[in-house]
Chains A and B, each alone.
Chain A
């Protein structure tokens, strides 16, 4: 129970963000002719904010299944790298592991990657609670949005900024907690330059490649600095 309360407190910021964003998703989906069951199915089984938003337009526009698959790959490719940070932590999670993997959304990742497991708690139980609570908020938000959408015509323009704001807070937090700022700076510059050159539709995967290359080049200097601080 104590662990549950701790996880609840940790996930409060995500609760706010996910209920708001989930509501936006549910509304959007409803406006495009897909009701509550569709919203629930997408939020339970896909559970990826950005892809679900894009998914609405894919469904509504009657996109081909090939372009659905390609879009899913492009929009969510970044998730490949989330797992890398959690390999050691999630080892030995047993039956919880498939769910821990399924639950590794942007926001859950930003919470579990700090590895703030309370003293005396089982890490996997803590990670499971965080992942599960986060998804509950997301599903709840989607349901609220879907139901609201059939009642009130809402002017929701700009609400999706909450997702941006959430990432900015995580960025600021990481910046303040760490002395090593080069990965953050080059991540920002690399993706901005790719965005300027390639445009909004094509820059995600190239940016990730650029980031990996830059980080690989920086490995020696960064690890040297790491040693000096020890």
Chain B
């Protein structure tokens, strides 16, 4: 893309992202939030976080070598370490280091 097109593309991405983030606030600005929407607001985060994890791992190679093992092992390292130490920075850095190492050996 040339510069002008790139600027337009970036503006499009920015506006759409902002609108997606803002829409619930616009829709429910005046009224009280309906009980159903409040229920979704309370429990969706749990489902969403699961989906985000799957989303991050969507391009994992499962049917051929290394059979998704680097991803699987690293996720287990992160989860295990986090249950044990409850330190996010530690879990993220250790898990990422583990993954970067594993994809280089396999």
Interface residues of A, Cβ cutoff 8 Å to B: 12-13, 16-17, 20, 34, 38, 41-42, 45-48, 50-52, 55, 58-60, 62-63, 65, 68-69, 72-73, 76-88, 90, 97-98, 101-102, 104, 106, 109-110, 113, 157-159, 161-174, 176, 178, 180-181, 183-188, 190-192, 195, 200, 203-204, 207-208, 211-212, 214-216, 219, 222-223
B50 within 8 A of A: yes
How many Å lie between the Cα of A158 and that of B58 in the bound state? 14
Q: Could you tell me if A159 and B96 are in contact, using CB atoms closer than 8 angstroms? A: yes
CB distance from A172 to the nearest CB of B (A): 5
Question: Per DSSP, are chain B's interface residues mostly helix, strand or loop, or mixed?
Answer: helix
CB distance from A70 to the nearest CB of B (A): 9
Q: Could you tell me if A171 and B41 are in contact, using CB atoms closer than 8 angstroms? A: no
CB distance from A173 to the nearest CB of B (A): 7
How many Å lie between the Cα of A106 and that of B45 in the bound state? 10
Point out the residues of chain B lying under 8 angstroms from A63, CB to CB: 1, 9
Taking A72-B12, A79-B20, A88-B33 as known contacts, 4 extra A-B pairs with beta carbons closer than 8 A to each other, sorted by chain A number, are: A76-B17, A84-B40, A84-B44, A191-B54
Q: Could you tell me if A102 and B13 are in contact, using CB atoms closer than 8 angstroms? A: no
Q: Could you tell me if B95 and A174 are in contact, using CB atoms closer than 8 angstroms? A: no
Q: Could you tell me if A165 and B22 are in contact, using CB atoms closer than 8 angstroms? A: no
B64 within 8 A of A: no
Q: Could you tell me if A13 and B89 are in contact, using CB atoms closer than 8 angstroms? A: yes
Interface residues of B, Cβ cutoff 8 Å to A: 1, 5-6, 8-14, 16-18, 20-25, 28, 33, 36-37, 39-59, 71, 74-75, 78-79, 82-83, 86, 88-89, 91-93, 95-96, 99-100, 103-104
The total of interchain contacts (Cβ-Cβ below 8 angstroms) comes to: 248
Which residue of chain B has its CB nearest to the CB of A110? B49
How many Å lie between the Cα of A186 and that of B48 in the bound state? 10
**Known A-B contacts A16-B89, A79-B17; A87 and B43 likewise in contact (beta carbons under 8 Å):** no
Interface hub of A63, A77, A78, A98 (most chain B Cβ within 10 A):
A78
Point out the residues of chain A lying under 8 angstroms from B43, CB to CB: 180, 183, 215, 222
Question: Per DSSP, are chain A's interface residues mostly helix, strand or loop, or mixed?
Answer: helix
Which residue of chain A has its CB nearest to the CB of B88? A13
Q: Could you tell me if A65 and B9 are in contact, using CB atoms closer than 8 angstroms? A: yes
Q: Could you tell me if A192 and B54 are in contact, using CB atoms closer than 8 angstroms? A: yes
Q: Could you tell me if A183 and B44 are in contact, using CB atoms closer than 8 angstroms? A: yes
Point out the residues of chain A lying under 8 angstroms from B41, CB to CB: 81, 84-87
CB distance from B99 to the nearest CB of A (A): 4
Q: Could you tell me if A187 and B48 are in contact, using CB atoms closer than 8 angstroms? A: yes
How many Å lie between the Cα of A170 and that of B88 in the bound state? 8
Which residue of chain A has its CB nearest to the CB of B62? A196
**Known A-B contacts A62-B1, A68-B9, A164-B56; A80 and B47 likewise in contact (beta carbons under 8 Å):** no
Which one of B14, B40, B49, B91 lies within 8 Å of A187 (CB-CB)?
A: B49
Which one of B42, B58, B104 lies within 8 Å of A85 (CB-CB)?
A: B42
How many Å lie between the Cα of A51 and that of B11 in the bound state? 13
**Known A-B contacts A65-B9, A187-B49, A203-B58; A169 and B93 likewise in contact (beta carbons under 8 Å):** no
